[in-house]
Amino acid sequence: MTVEPATPFRTVPLVDHRRAERAVGELLAALGYPVQGEHLAATPARVARALAELVTPTAFLPTTFANEAGYDELVVARSVPFRSLCEHHLLPFHGTASVGYLPGDRILGLSKLARVVGHFAAGLQVQERLTQQVADWLSDHLQARGVGVVIEAEHLCMTLRGVQARGARTITSALRGEVRTDPRTREEFLDLVRCHG
Ligand code: ZN
């Protein structure tokens, strides 16, 4: 079986921890909570570390394999949990992604579908773009005959503040190739994704 490393993912910006820490201290002061005394002393450093963790994807090598067995049915990873940071409010949104593809020349290790979601979810995001990036990456790198991505998430900027629509979930989808154009494949993919048991 031939193994090929796929093209590297997007480049990841380096975090300037000292600057982030200073900025969090400044933000707290601006909010009326100047960093004084023992209770808040370590907060800027902790917040900077937490944010750095949320915006830094873990590296992995997204190896793909030749589809030597000629597998030609849908491969679906359902309800992959993820968390991300909304670029409009810097508040988390989190939920599940269901990702599927119709193999062409290349296949991807099963756990890698979840890794692709995690990779694009790390960073400042909006759900619509996340959905498209996962679909486009799979479509481009696997030469898949079709790709489907459905993401369901709760956005804290919507459920805990603003309209406070508690429990509201936002659903986005991106369908490519035969998963989009072939009615039977499309229906099969959406059925598999809907079967939340
Ligand atoms: Zn938001």
The verdict on residue 6 lying in a domain is: no
- For ligand 1, the distance from its centroid to the CA atom of residue 103, given in whole angstroms, is 35
What is the pTM assigned to this prediction?
0.89
Report, as residue numbers or ranges, the catalytic residues: 86-89, 127, 155, 157
Q: For 25-40, what is each residue's pLDDT tens digit?
A: 999 999 999 998 888 9
Q: 167 and 146 in one domain?
A: yes
Mean pLDDT over residues 105-130, rounded?
A: 92
Q: 47 and 84 in one domain?
A: no
Other CB atoms within a 10 A radius of the CB of residue 188 amount to 18
| Residues less than 5 Å from ion ligand 1, measured at CB | 86, 88-89, 157
pLDDT > 60? residue 140: yes
139, 104 Cβ separation under 8 angstroms: no
Q: 67 and 30 in one domain?
A: no
- For ligand 1, the distance from its centroid to the CA atom of residue 37, given in whole angstroms, is 32
Q: For 156-192, what is each residue's pLDDT tens digit?
A: 999 998 888 888 999 999 999 999 999 999 999 999 9
Q: Which domain holds residue 45?
A: 17-55
pLDDT > 70? residue 10: no
pLDDT of residue 11: 66
Q: Which of 28-32, 91-95, 192-196 has the lowest mean pLDDT?
A: 192-196
| Angle between helical axes of 127-142 and 110-121 (0-180°, round to 10) | 140
Closest CA to 3 of 58, 59, 67, 60: 67
Domain count, the chain: 2
Mean pLDDT over residues 111-124, rounded?
A: 92
pLDDT of residue 7: 47
Q: 182 and 86 in one domain?
A: yes
Q: 25 and 89 in one domain?
A: no
- For ligand 1, the distance from its centroid to the CA atom of residue 89, given in whole angstroms, is 4
E strand segments, the chain? 3-5, 63-66, 75-86, 92-102, 106-108, 124-125, 146-155, 170-176
